[in-house]
Amino acid sequence: MGKRSKRYKQASQAADSSQPCMLDEAVEILKSSATAKFDETIDLATHLGVDPRQSDQNLRGTISLPHGTGKQVRVVVFAEGENAQAALDVGADEVGVDELVDKIAGGWMEFDATVATPDLMRRITPKLGRILGPRGLMPNAKAGTVTNNVAEVVNSIKAGQIEYRAERESGVIHVPVGKSSFSKDQIKDNINSVMETLMRARPSAIKGRYLKSVSISSTMGVGIRIDPQSFV
């Protein structure tokens, strides 16, 4: 415990510092302080100067991480006929429509992502909108998960595609960017991929400061602030 305490203290000092770290240093500290007995998830939190209540500032989309998330993603697909078979062929974990809707409405939530064909949304939304929506799990055209090409989307999600969405009240975006077992370069590559996407997504209406703060943390660790200048 003494060794962990020393590393945790180092991370805590970095998190409390008035001066954020550059990306290399932040990842170095995170790696040295992630000493739990399981493979901790690494979270990237980005505070953007947007108002998600405004439709043109409600940032949402997908990012394909170059090294994936390190997590085995369970994907549910709402599809029929050839689309249903195509989803099964590429490894979708559960495929169906009405029975699947009822199963989820009954409390089953053992999945991480959903995909649906456009024609089925009217059969899904009435029962599942209020269940999946608040969890960020509702199929969404803007995020690319309402599609007729279900096989391609399932493949992308399984390969490490993640969805991002700005929190309505704060403008903060949380996304997983890997595991503590990843190399430093893999973590940095994934973080840079996310940040490049978010910088490109800057709404034209934003005139002031867009990138307010950035931090990373592991499951059992503290937040380590990263200097936004690392990404501009």
Q: What is the DSSP-derived secondary structure letter of residue 141?
A: T
Q: What is the total count of domains within the chain?
A: 2
User: Residue 36's domain spans which residues?
Assistant: 16-68+162-231
Of 109, 140, 159, the one marking the end of a domain is 159
Do residues 79 and 155 share a domain? yes
The pLDDT tens digits for 46-98 are: 999 998 888 888 898 889 999 999 988 999 999 999 999 999 999 999 999 99
Please check whether residues 167 and 226 belong to one and the same domain: yes
Residues 192 and 168 in one domain: yes
Q: What is the pLDDT of residue 136?
A: 87
pLDDT the model gives residue 2: 45
Q: Are residues 120 and 176 in the same domain?
A: no
pTM for the complete prediction?
0.78
β-bridge partners, 214: 46, 226
Spatial contact of 111 and 74, defined as CB atoms under 8 Å apart: yes
pLDDT of residue 69: 92
Determine, yes or no, domain membership for 10: no
The pLDDT tens digits for 99-135 are 999 999 999 999 999 999 999 999 999 999 999 999 9
Q: Which residue has the tokens 């739990």?
A: 36
C-beta of residue 129 within 8 angstroms of C-beta of residue 136: no
pLDDT of residue 14: 52
What single-letter DSSP state applies at residue 20? P
List the Cα angle 109/110/113 in 5-degree steps: 85
Supply the mean pLDDT for the chain.
90
Q: Are residues 121 and 225 in the same domain?
A: no
* Whether 84 and 140 share a structural domain: yes
Residue 207 reports pLDDT greater than 50: yes
Q: What is the DSSP string of 171-213?
A: -EEEEEEEETTS-HHHHHHHHHHHHHHHHHT--TT--S--EEE
Q: Are residues 92 and 79 in the same domain?
A: yes
DSSP assigned state of 57: G
Which residue, 159, 176, 191, sits at the end of a domain?
159
- Say if residue 96 is in the same domain as residue 146: yes
Quick one: tokens of 229? 């200048």
